[in-house]
């Protein structure tokens, strides 16, 4: 039986609300991100950026990581692409990102 979805992501033992299709905990997701290479990392981060609320994205990746790999992530963002395009461009314009 799958764990219930949780919006409080402060514990590594809960299943994040945005992983509705996988029975994976916050801790397991963090471990997968550390171990992931290339396209697998982009797929995981793209899923987080597409499905999670934007403040929750930063619990798993940094803005610098996203900016550095944005060309790989952008095609994976679906309906959220315009939001992330705007946010990253604004942060670059304001000097928060290189």
Report how far residue 85's alpha carbon sits from residue 97's, in angstroms, rounded to the nearest whole number. Answer: 13
Report how far residue 47's alpha carbon sits from residue 43's, in angstroms, rounded to the nearest whole number. Answer: 6
**Which tens digits make up the pLDDT trace of 29-83?**
999 999 999 899 999 999 999 999 999 999 999 999 999 999 999 999 999 999 9
Q: Taking a C-beta distance cutoff of 8 angstroms, is the pair 22, 5 a contact?
A: no
| Cα-trace Rg, the chain | 14
Residue matched to tokens 């991100």: 33
In this prediction, residue 10 has a pLDDT band, given cuts at 50, 70 and 90, of very high
Q: pLDDT value at position 82?
A: 98
**Which tens digits make up the pLDDT trace of 38-52?**
899 999 999 999 999
Model-level pTM? 0.93
């Amino acid at each position: 039986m799958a764990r219930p979805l949780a919006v409080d992501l402060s514990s590594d033992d809960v299943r994040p609300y945005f992983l509705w299709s996988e029975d994976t905990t916050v801790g397991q997701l963090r471990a997968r991100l550390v171990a992931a290479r290339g396209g697998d990392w982009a797929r995981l981060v793209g899923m987080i950026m597409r499905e999670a609320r934007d403040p929750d994205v930063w619990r798993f990746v940094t803005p610098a990581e996203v900016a550095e790999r944005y060309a790989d992530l952008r095609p994976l963002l679906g309906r959220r692409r315009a939001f992330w395009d705007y946010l990253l461009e604004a942060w670059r314009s304001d000097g928060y990102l290189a």
